[in-house]
Protein backbone atom coordinates (compact mmCIF):
# COMPACT_ATOMS: atom_id res chain seq x y z
CA UNK A 1 0.00 0.00 0.00
CA UNK A 2 1.46 3.36 -1.00
CA UNK A 3 1.53 6.15 1.56
CA UNK A 4 -0.23 9.45 0.73
CA UNK A 5 0.52 12.90 2.16
CA UNK A 6 -2.59 12.94 4.39
CA UNK A 7 -2.59 11.97 8.06
CA UNK A 8 -4.14 8.61 8.95
CA UNK A 9 -7.01 8.55 11.44
CA UNK A 10 -4.61 7.12 14.00
CA UNK A 11 -2.27 10.12 13.60
CA UNK A 12 -5.19 12.61 13.75
CA UNK A 13 -6.41 11.03 16.99
CA UNK A 14 -2.94 11.09 18.49
CA UNK A 15 -2.40 14.78 17.59
CA UNK A 16 -5.80 15.74 19.08
CA UNK A 17 -5.05 13.91 22.32
CA UNK A 18 -1.49 15.24 22.57
CA UNK A 19 -3.01 18.74 22.38
CA UNK A 20 -5.71 17.83 24.93
CA UNK A 21 -8.28 18.69 22.21
CA UNK A 22 -7.29 22.37 22.60
CA UNK A 23 -6.22 24.64 19.71
CA UNK A 24 -2.41 25.00 19.75
CA UNK A 25 -2.50 28.70 18.78
CA UNK A 26 -1.50 30.36 22.10
CA UNK A 27 -3.73 33.36 21.36
CA UNK A 28 -6.75 31.09 20.77
CA UNK A 29 -6.69 28.00 23.02
CA UNK A 30 -10.30 27.17 22.15
CA UNK A 31 -11.54 23.68 23.01
CA UNK A 32 -11.97 21.64 19.84
CA UNK A 33 -14.59 19.19 21.00
CA UNK A 34 -18.05 19.88 22.39
CA UNK A 35 -21.20 17.97 23.35
CA UNK A 36 -23.54 16.94 20.50
CA UNK A 37 -27.34 17.08 20.98
CA UNK A 38 -27.20 13.30 20.77
CA UNK A 39 -25.87 12.28 24.21
CA UNK A 40 -23.87 9.48 22.62
CA UNK A 41 -21.93 11.81 20.33
CA UNK A 42 -19.46 14.72 20.39
CA UNK A 43 -18.84 17.56 17.93
CA UNK A 44 -15.25 17.88 16.69
CA UNK A 45 -14.20 21.47 15.91
CA UNK A 46 -10.49 20.86 15.39
CA UNK A 47 -8.21 19.44 12.77
CA UNK A 48 -4.74 18.07 12.33
CA UNK A 49 -3.16 20.72 10.10
CA UNK A 50 -0.04 20.13 8.02
CA UNK A 51 3.02 22.16 9.02
CA UNK A 52 4.70 21.53 5.66
CA UNK A 53 1.83 21.44 3.14
CA UNK A 54 0.51 18.15 1.80
CA UNK A 55 0.22 19.24 -1.85
CA UNK A 56 2.08 21.58 -4.24
CA UNK A 57 -0.67 24.18 -3.90
CA UNK A 58 -0.67 24.02 -0.07
CA UNK A 59 1.04 26.55 2.21
CA UNK A 60 4.61 25.69 3.26
CA UNK A 61 4.85 22.87 0.67
CA UNK A 62 8.36 21.48 0.45
CA UNK A 63 9.01 19.63 -2.84
CA UNK A 64 12.00 17.86 -1.31
CA UNK A 65 9.90 16.00 1.26
CA UNK A 66 8.45 12.55 0.65
CA UNK A 67 4.75 11.80 1.21
CA UNK A 68 5.84 9.62 4.10
CA UNK A 69 7.42 12.68 5.73
CA UNK A 70 4.38 14.83 4.94
CA UNK A 71 2.00 12.40 6.63
CA UNK A 72 4.35 11.79 9.55
CA UNK A 73 2.92 12.79 12.96
CA UNK A 74 5.81 15.25 13.45
CA UNK A 75 4.48 17.29 10.50
CA UNK A 76 1.13 17.96 12.18
CA UNK A 77 -0.27 20.56 14.53
CA UNK A 78 -3.65 20.42 16.24
CA UNK A 79 -5.73 23.56 15.66
CA UNK A 80 -9.33 24.71 15.79
CA UNK A 81 -11.00 24.93 12.37
CA UNK A 82 -10.62 28.71 12.12
CA UNK A 83 -6.93 28.76 13.11
CA UNK A 84 -6.24 25.93 10.65
CA UNK A 85 -7.65 28.14 7.88
CA UNK A 86 -5.73 31.18 9.13
CA UNK A 87 -2.27 29.56 8.99
CA UNK A 88 -2.77 28.60 5.34
CA UNK A 89 -3.74 32.09 4.22
CA UNK A 90 -0.31 33.70 4.54
CA UNK A 91 2.69 31.44 5.04
CA UNK A 92 5.01 34.42 5.52
CA UNK A 93 3.23 35.11 8.82
CA UNK A 94 3.07 31.44 9.81
CA UNK A 95 6.33 29.87 8.63
CA UNK A 96 7.34 26.28 9.45
CA UNK A 97 9.62 27.09 12.40
CA UNK A 98 6.94 29.30 13.92
CA UNK A 99 4.29 26.51 13.82
CA UNK A 100 6.76 23.97 15.21
CA UNK A 101 7.34 26.37 18.10
CA UNK A 102 3.58 26.67 18.68
CA UNK A 103 3.23 22.90 18.80
CA UNK A 104 6.21 22.38 21.12
CA UNK A 105 5.02 25.12 23.49
CA UNK A 106 1.47 23.80 23.47
CA UNK A 107 2.45 20.20 24.19
CA UNK A 108 4.72 21.38 27.01
CA UNK A 109 1.82 23.39 28.40
CA UNK A 110 -0.51 20.35 28.22
CA UNK A 111 2.15 18.12 29.77
CA UNK A 112 2.42 20.66 32.60
CA UNK A 113 -1.30 20.27 33.37
CA UNK A 114 -2.56 23.29 31.35
CA UNK A 115 -1.68 25.94 33.96
CA UNK A 116 -3.91 29.03 33.76
CA UNK A 117 -2.55 31.97 31.80
CA UNK A 118 -2.49 34.11 34.95
CA UNK A 119 -0.20 31.77 36.78
CA UNK A 120 1.99 31.34 33.73
CA UNK A 121 3.11 34.85 32.83
CA UNK A 122 6.41 33.69 31.40
CA UNK A 123 4.81 31.51 28.78
CA UNK A 124 6.45 32.00 25.39
CA UNK A 125 3.93 33.29 22.89
CA UNK A 126 4.76 33.90 19.28
CA UNK A 127 3.29 37.09 17.88
CA UNK A 128 2.01 36.90 14.28
CA UNK A 129 1.15 40.65 14.13
CA UNK A 130 4.63 41.64 15.28
CA UNK A 131 6.25 39.16 12.92
CA UNK A 132 4.19 40.62 10.08
CA UNK A 133 5.28 44.17 10.90
CA UNK A 134 8.91 43.03 11.22
CA UNK A 135 8.73 41.53 7.72
CA UNK A 136 7.05 44.63 6.34
CA UNK A 137 9.57 47.06 7.85
CA UNK A 138 12.41 44.89 6.61
CA UNK A 139 11.16 44.59 3.06
CA UNK A 140 10.34 48.32 2.90
CA UNK A 141 13.87 49.18 4.11
CA UNK A 142 15.25 46.88 1.44
CA UNK A 143 13.11 48.63 -1.18
CA UNK A 144 14.39 52.05 -0.02
CA UNK A 145 18.02 50.95 0.07
CA UNK A 146 17.82 49.70 -3.53
CA UNK A 147 15.58 52.48 -4.88
CA UNK A 148 18.36 54.66 -6.25
CA UNK A 149 19.97 51.67 -8.03
CA UNK A 150 16.59 50.70 -9.50
CA UNK A 151 16.16 54.31 -10.55
CA UNK A 152 19.54 54.42 -12.30
CA UNK A 153 18.63 51.21 -14.13
CA UNK A 154 15.32 52.69 -15.26
CA UNK A 155 13.26 50.16 -13.25
CA UNK A 156 11.40 52.93 -11.41
CA UNK A 157 10.52 56.39 -12.61
CA UNK A 158 11.19 59.56 -10.61
CA UNK A 159 10.06 59.28 -7.00
CA UNK A 160 6.46 58.20 -7.66
CA UNK A 161 7.07 54.52 -6.94
CA UNK A 162 8.91 55.40 -3.73
CA UNK A 163 6.01 57.45 -2.42
CA UNK A 164 3.42 54.90 -3.53
CA UNK A 165 5.32 52.21 -1.62
CA UNK A 166 5.62 54.51 1.41
CA UNK A 167 1.84 55.00 1.54
CA UNK A 168 1.12 51.29 1.37
CA UNK A 169 3.79 50.64 4.02
CA UNK A 170 2.22 53.21 6.38
CA UNK A 171 -1.22 51.72 5.79
CA UNK A 172 -0.24 48.14 6.53
CA UNK A 173 1.71 49.06 9.68
CA UNK A 174 -1.24 51.15 10.93
CA UNK A 175 -3.57 48.21 10.30
CA UNK A 176 -1.75 46.15 12.93
CA UNK A 177 -2.60 48.69 15.64
CA UNK A 178 -0.36 49.51 18.61
CA UNK A 179 2.39 46.91 18.89
CA UNK A 180 3.81 47.96 22.27
CA UNK A 181 7.39 47.71 21.10
CA UNK A 182 9.59 50.45 22.55
CA UNK A 183 11.62 52.29 19.89
CA UNK A 184 9.77 50.77 16.95
CA UNK A 185 7.41 53.69 16.46
CA UNK A 186 10.21 56.27 16.63
CA UNK A 187 12.26 54.11 14.24
CA UNK A 188 9.36 54.01 11.78
CA UNK A 189 8.97 57.81 12.02
CA UNK A 190 12.67 58.21 11.26
CA UNK A 191 12.32 55.90 8.26
CA UNK A 192 9.42 57.99 6.94
CA UNK A 193 11.35 61.28 7.35
CA UNK A 194 14.27 59.82 5.43
CA UNK A 195 12.01 58.54 2.65
CA UNK A 196 10.77 62.10 2.11
CA UNK A 197 14.40 63.32 2.08
CA UNK A 198 15.15 60.70 -0.53
CA UNK A 199 12.12 61.76 -2.57
CA UNK A 200 13.38 65.37 -2.67
CA UNK A 201 16.88 64.28 -3.71
CA UNK A 202 15.61 61.87 -6.37
CA UNK A 203 13.39 64.61 -7.80
CA UNK A 204 16.26 67.07 -7.85
CA UNK A 205 18.62 64.67 -9.61
CA UNK A 206 16.01 63.29 -11.99
CA UNK A 207 14.23 66.57 -12.65
CA UNK A 208 13.82 67.89 -16.17
CA UNK A 209 16.73 70.34 -15.88
CA UNK A 210 19.33 69.14 -13.45
CA UNK A 211 21.94 71.86 -13.33
CA UNK A 212 25.38 70.36 -12.82
CA UNK A 213 26.81 73.75 -11.85
CA UNK A 214 24.34 74.19 -9.02
CA UNK A 215 26.11 73.41 -5.76
CA UNK A 216 23.03 71.59 -4.42
CA UNK A 217 23.30 69.17 -7.35
CA UNK A 218 26.82 68.17 -6.43
CA UNK A 219 25.87 67.30 -2.90
CA UNK A 220 22.58 65.58 -3.76
CA UNK A 221 24.26 62.43 -4.97
CA UNK A 222 26.43 62.27 -1.87
CA UNK A 223 23.33 62.68 0.24
CA UNK A 224 21.55 59.90 -1.63
CA UNK A 225 24.51 57.60 -1.04
CA UNK A 226 24.38 58.42 2.67
CA UNK A 227 20.63 57.72 2.77
CA UNK A 228 21.01 54.44 0.88
CA UNK A 229 23.62 53.39 3.39
CA UNK A 230 21.35 54.40 6.27
CA UNK A 231 18.45 52.30 4.91
CA UNK A 232 20.76 49.31 4.37
CA UNK A 233 22.08 49.63 7.93
CA UNK A 234 18.53 49.78 9.34
CA UNK A 235 17.62 46.68 7.36
CA UNK A 236 20.48 44.85 9.07
CA UNK A 237 19.54 46.11 12.54
CA UNK A 238 15.79 45.56 12.44
CA UNK A 239 16.01 41.81 13.20
CA UNK A 240 18.04 42.45 16.30
CA UNK A 241 15.72 45.26 17.41
CA UNK A 242 12.52 43.24 17.05
CA UNK A 243 13.61 39.63 17.68
CA UNK A 244 13.09 39.82 21.49
CA UNK A 245 9.53 41.07 20.97
CA UNK A 246 8.42 38.21 18.73
CA UNK A 247 8.30 35.66 21.50
CA UNK A 248 6.84 37.50 24.50
ZN1 LIG B 1 -7.74 28.31 17.30
In this prediction, residue 217 carries a pLDDT of: 56
Measure 82 CA to ligand 1 centroid, in angstroms.
Answer: 6
User: What pLDDT is attached to residue 132?
Assistant: 81
- What span, in angstroms and rounded, lies between the C-alpha atoms of 76 and 6? 10
Distance 29 CA to ligand 1 centre (A): 6
pLDDT number for residue 119 = 46
Q: What is the 3-state secondary structure (H, E, C) of the chain?
A: CCCCCCCCHHHHHHHHHHCCCECCCCCCCCECEEECCCCCCEEECEEEEECCCCCCCCCCCCCCCCHHHHCCHHHEEEEEHHHHHHHHHCCCCCCHHHHHHHHHHHHHHHHCCCCCCCCCCCCCCCCHHHHHHHHHHHHHHHHHHHHHHHHHCCCCCCCHHHHHHHHHHHHHHHHCCCCCCCCHHHHHHHHHHHHHHHHHHHHHHHCCCCCCCCHHHHHHHHHHHHHHHHHHHHHHHHHHHHHHHCCC
The answer to whether 80 and 30 have CB atoms below 8 angstroms apart is yes
Angle separating helix axes 184-206 and 128-152, nearest 10 degrees? 20
**Contact present, 42 and 33 (Cβ < 8 Å):** yes
Give the pLDDT confidence score for residue 221 in this predicted structure: 74
Q: How much distance in Å is there from the Cα of 32 to the middle of ligand 1? A: 8
pLDDT at 32: 96
How remote is the CA of residue 115 from the centroid of ligand 1, in Å?
18
**Which residues surround the ion ligand 1 when the cut-off is CB under 5 Å?**
23, 25, 28, 30, 80, 83
CA torsion sign, 107 to 111 to 114 to 118? negative
- CA–centroid distance, residue 227 to ligand 1 (Å): 43
How many Å apart are CA 205 and CA 120, to the nearest integer? Answer: 57
CA of 113 to the centre of ligand 1 (A): 19
pLDDT at residue 56 in the model: 96
Ranges of residues in the chain with a pLDDT under 50 are 119-124, 213
pLDDT in tens, 76-129: 999 999 999 999 988 888 899 889 999 999 999 999 898 876 544 444 455 777
Ligand 1 centroid–CA 212 distance in Å is 61
Q: What integer pLDDT is reported at residue 248 of this predicted model?
A: 53
Q: Are 32 and 16 in contact (CB under 8 A)?
A: yes
Q: CA angle at residue 70 from 68 to 76, to 5 degrees? A: 125
105 C-alpha vs ligand 1 centroid, how far in Å?
15
Q: How far is the CA of 56 from the centre of ligand 1 (A)?
A: 25
Amino acid sequence: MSIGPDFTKKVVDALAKRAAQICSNPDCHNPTSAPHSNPARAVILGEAAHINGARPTSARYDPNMTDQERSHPSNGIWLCVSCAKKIDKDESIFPVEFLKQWRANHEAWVAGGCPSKKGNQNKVVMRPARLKVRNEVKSFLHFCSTYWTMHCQGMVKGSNDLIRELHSFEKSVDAEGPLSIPNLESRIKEIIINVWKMQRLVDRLAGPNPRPLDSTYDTAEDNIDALVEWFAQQEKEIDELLEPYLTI
